[in-house]
Amino acid sequence: MTVVFVHGNPESSAIWDPLASVLGREDVALLSPPGFGVPLPDGFGATFLDYRDWLESELAAIEGPIDLVGHDWGGGHVVNAVMHRPELVRSWVCDVIGIFDSDFEWHNLAQVWQTPGAGEESIESMFGGDLTARTDLMISLGFPDLDIAAAIAAHQNADMGRAILAVYRSAAQPAMAEAGRKLDSAAARPGLALLPTDDSFNEADDTRRAADRAGARIEELEGLGHWWMVQDPHRSANALNRFWGALD
């Protein structure tokens, strides 16, 4: 058995460290999408379908059964992969399943990144400063831990900037609504949709509708925000272990 964690934007795998330390499992693998904490390979398009194919390739090389967990864009990659290749996993968890709802609208910053010119200016503003400035930006966005914010900021570079612009532009609507037409396929494996109630980047109604279509359970994380796994790793671990325990 292996639990595989996939992080999102603008992050590195350091977001999982507090959760992994209290999860009570030794079989943990942390995957970093290309450009996000690891180099962006030459020729990698960084579209949301490229990331789906990347994740499927990674999962196929891991000894299973696999319990797959994704956060932010990592959650998008998880659902995208499970809709396409459900046989690769035993179960899946996602905290952004609402992005596949037909009524989903990207948040304001995402829409800036999707706009030529304005997106490049935004990325330069975010990543053009030194480590302290990038760390301060993470904290201003609501990241709950200074040390981990600094560890993430150390990986925020030109590769990540290019990957952000590419993946968000590939996912401009109606691309996600069209991808979400296959949500029913995700029901082939048990799923859990996490709903942190203080996550300003997600809409609860989108999450509930998409989870219902994907046959996923919903677990609210009352009072937790976008980085729930850092904010309260013990409660986050309990939620995951309850889900996996029910499968056993």
The pLDDT tens digits for 48-98 are: 999 999 999 999 999 989 999 999 999 999 999 999 999 999 999 999 999
Q: Given its phi and psi angles, is residue 164 left (phi above 0), alpha (psi -120 to 50 degrees) or beta?
A: alpha
- Cα–Cα distance, 18 to 86 (Å, whole number): 28
Please name which of 203, 243, 198, 197 lies closest in space to residue 220, comparing C-alpha atoms. Answer: 197
Set out the domains of the chain in order of their start, with CATH numbers. Answer: 2-247 (3.40.50.1820)
Residue 57, C-beta contacts closer than 8 angstroms, at least 6 positions apart = none
Average pLDDT, the chain: 97
Mutual orientation of helices 48-60 and 158-170 as an angle, nearest 10°? 110
Strand partners, 91: 67
Q: Does 162 have pLDDT greater than 90?
A: yes
Q: Comparing C-alpha atoms, which of 186, 241, 243, 229 is closest to residue 210?
A: 186
CB contact at 8 A, 3 and 221: no
Is the pTM higher than 0.85? The answer reads: yes
What would the pLDDT profile of 130-142 be if each residue is shown by its tens digit? 999 999 999 999 9
Element (H, E) at 195: strand 191-196
**What average pLDDT does range 226-236 have in this prediction?**
98
Angstrom CA distances, 66 to 2, 23, 165, 190, stand at 5, 15, 30, 12
Per-residue pLDDT band at 1 (split at 50, 70, 90): confident
Q: Phi and psi (nearest 5°) for 132?
A: -65, -45
The secondary structure element, H or E, covering residue 4 is strand 2-6
C-alpha 84/C-alpha 122 separation (Å) is 33
User: pLDDT tens, 31-59?
Assistant: 999 999 999 999 999 999 999 999 999 99
Give the mean pLDDT of 223-238.
Answer: 98
Residue 248 pLDDT greater than 80, yes or no: no
